[in-house]
Every structure is written in structure tokens, then in C-alpha cells.
Structure 1
């Protein structure tokens, strides 16, 4: 595995997005700076327990570090096949998400979300991000800063550091593409 692909690059990208130094992360996981550096460069392989620690400290679901599909060398970091997308998120509340971006090393990430009928996020969330969402199909209710909008296929919306929540009280799944900066997964 090359230095510019795999779990290590994602750990590094997440660390940098959170403005953590190698020393900050190494202290938090209880490992040496050298070991964390080797993990980030894919020279050392973290255990499942290590990945759980990284996920907790970097505030991402553990699933972020699994399901990285092998790809032909010329496609790595460039092409993401539909069958090779990394499933991310907790899969709670009837929301299924997959990473469309090749990795987390850009200034943004692209997420494909499926909101199942009857699914909802009851408690508002707030992230220090700018997010633009395009609804591919279905209908979704979204509350941004406590203002409710009904979004339909072809509509888009932006969340810029505001509290938000969502619900799909409709009969069909709602499919959306999110562009998030900086990456949060």
C-alpha cells in the first residue's frame, strides 16, 4: 500500500482537519509520535482497538476505517466505483451514507445519503462546516436554524454552521449528495 492511500491518509486528513498535531494525537491514543506517523504513512498497521481509539478521538464512526476497497493502481485516489464506495456513518435513524470522494485529503468531502421512509433526526446537530446538499430523488423535510423547508428532487440547500435536523415522513426514500467542507468523516 502506498503512502498516499488507505486508512493512514484518512487518519492524517482527519487529524489535520481537527487542527491536531502528531503529538496531540499520539498523546490521545497513548502511542508514540513515531508510531502514529508510521500509521499515517501506512508503514504500521493499527489494531482494531487502535482504530476504535482513533475513531473516538477524531469523532468519526469506526466504520470510517473499514471497507476501503482495493482498486487498480491507476484508479486509486482518482476513481471510486459505485460498488467500492465506503459506507460511513452509524446507520441509525434510517440514514445510510457512503463516501463518494476517493478519500478525505481534499478540502471537502462528497457523501451519498439515503433517508429511508419514516426516518428522522430528532435532535438537532451543528457542525463547523459549510455544506451544500442536492436532493436527487424523493422529498425531505429539513430544519435549518429552526426554520423548516420541504425539499424535493432537484432542489438544493446550504447549511453553514447552523443547527439542523431532518425527517422523511414520506413513502419513498430520499437520495441526496452532500458536499461538506472541511471533511467531517
Structure 2
């Protein structure tokens, strides 16, 4: 006997669903985000349910309030039969607020799952000097290159093929090496 797996409903593959997922991942209520944006709960609810389309200015404010790039809220035009299922290599959405030297792209079709997959490229010389701490569980796999990673005050030098886990600990990273480092991250709950 085979289990029947259904595709996600179309509404899970929308701008509104992504905004709702990001808002919830940050522990914000509709009224809290609405207040930050200077907009009503009703308007924000309609945006999240795709009943109202936000303007570009609204998207800038929403992205800023949710600490993501505006471009991460735009979707690529995938064929209908692939929407919510497939992300082509040349159609990944750029995500996150990028420190110099870090390029991140969403590998997940959208932000409505319990986790997200991210493709990160750390350029040679890139680093963050301030520790990051988020209420997440994260696992990373070094695809190529090398990366120095500090987790809870301990230094780890990682090479291609190595993996790591961060569970809400403070961390920071640096790529002091000559080549870029490519990392695949799985983050739960989604933060981008």
C-alpha cells in the first residue's frame, strides 16, 4: 500500500504566506507588526491572506520590520506545476540582510515549512565580528572551501565535507581563506 502525498495547497506558496511565516517565526502578533508598520490589523491580515497586495513601499517597511531583504519577498516565476515544490538553481531567492561578503539564497520553495534550507557563500575575507544568537536549531554542511566558526565561545575550523549544529548558542564566523566557502544550512524555525 502506498501513501498518497498531496501537494501543498496553493495558498501556502504566496507572498502572504511567507509574510505570515516570517512574522510568526519572530514571535510577532498581527497587532504588533501592524503597529510597527503604522497599518491596521485588518490590512495586514488581508495581506497575509493574499486579499490585498502591498505596494513596493509597504514591502520595504515589511521587510525592514521582519529584518529580511526586500528581494527575499519577491518570488521567481516558476511554472505552475513546480510552484511550492521545485526551486531551480538559477531562480533562487536572495534572502537575509547581508553582511559584506555573504550571499544567501533560499533553497526551500517558500517559508511556510517548519524549517528552511539556505545556500550560503562566504567570500574570502568575509566575517561577522558580533556574535549572533537566535532561537533556532541549525545544521550546516560545508560543500566547498573552509570556514572558521565560533559556537558558544569555542573555535572550530571546518573543511569541505564537515557539518555542524547550533542550538540557540551564540555564534560567529569568518572566512580568512583564499577561496569562497559554500555552506548548506537547515534552520528551524525559518528566520529569513
TM above 0.5: yes
Counterpart in the other structure of 2:52: 44
Shift of 1:18: 2.4
Counterpart in the other structure of 1:57: 65
For the pair 1:124 / 2:131, whether they are aligned, the reply is yes
Counterpart in the other structure of 1:21: 29
For the pair 1:150 / 2:157, whether they are aligned, the reply is yes
The alignment partner of 1:80 has SS state of coil
For the pair 1:167 / 2:165, whether they are aligned, the reply is no
Counterpart in the other structure of 2:5: none
Q: What stretches of structure 1 of length at least 5 have no aligned partner?
A: none
Q: Distance in 1 between matches of 2:38 and 2:174?
A: 40
- Find 1:6's aligned residue among 10, 14, 18: 14
Cα distance per residue 1:9-40 (max 9 Å; x no partner): 11011122223332332232222222212211
Higher share in strand:
1
Q: Distance in 2 between matches of 1:53 and 1:132?
A: 30
Shift of 1:171: 1.1
TM-score, scaled relative to structure 1: 0.92
| Runs of 4+ deviating beyond 3 Å | none
Evaluate the alpha carbon distance shift between residue 16 and residue 90 of structure 1 in structure 2; reply closer, same or farther with a 3 A threshold.
closer
Q: Distance in 2 between matches of 1:30 and 1:90?
A: 22
Contact 1:135 1:153 in 2 (8 A): yes
Shift of 1:172: 1.0
Q: Distance in 2 between matches of 1:44 and 1:91?
A: 29
- Find 2:92's aligned residue among 81, 85, 101: 85
Contact 2:76 2:93 in 1 (8 A): yes
Contact 2:151 2:169 in 1 (8 A): yes
Q: What stretches of structure 2 of length at least 5 have no aligned partner?
A: 1-9
